[in-house]
């Protein structure tokens, strides 16, 4: 099923884009802030974080389906 491969590629591009936007928005670098400076995600940052988790779950499901129907 070639359409599953196309969906998987599209999801992976979306995931990479979302992750890069999150890293750029943090301003603390790729590896996070110093210990003790944790903060709560709010607004758009929280929405992007939840969308990232959702997209990872969808990506894993599509990957399993792709292997199953191969």
Determine the number of helices (DSSP H) and then strands (DSSP E) in the chain: 2, 0
Residue 9 inside a domain? The answer is yes
Distance CA 11, CA 8 (A): 5
26: tokens are 């943090």
Residue 48 inside a domain? The answer is yes
Residue 35 inside a domain? The answer is no
pLDDT tens for 14-68 read 999 999 988 776 655 555 555 555 667 788 888 999 999 999 999 999 999 999 9
Domain count, the chain: 1
Residue 12 inside a domain? The answer is yes
Residue among 19, 12, 11 at smallest CA distance from 45: 19
Range of the domain at 60: 2-30+40-68
pLDDT tens for 47-59 read 999 999 999 999 9
Give pTM, 2 decimals.
0.74
Residue 49 inside a domain? The answer is yes
């Amino acid at each position: 099923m070639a359409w599953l491969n196309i969906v998987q590629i599209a999801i992976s591009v979306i995931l990479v884009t979302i992750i890069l936007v999150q890293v750029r928005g943090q301003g603390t670098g790729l590896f996070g802030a110093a210990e003790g400076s944790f903060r709560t995600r709010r607004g758009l940052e929280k929405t992007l974080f939840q969308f990232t988790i959702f997209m990872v779950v969808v990506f894993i499901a599509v990957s399993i389906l792709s292997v199953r129907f191969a």
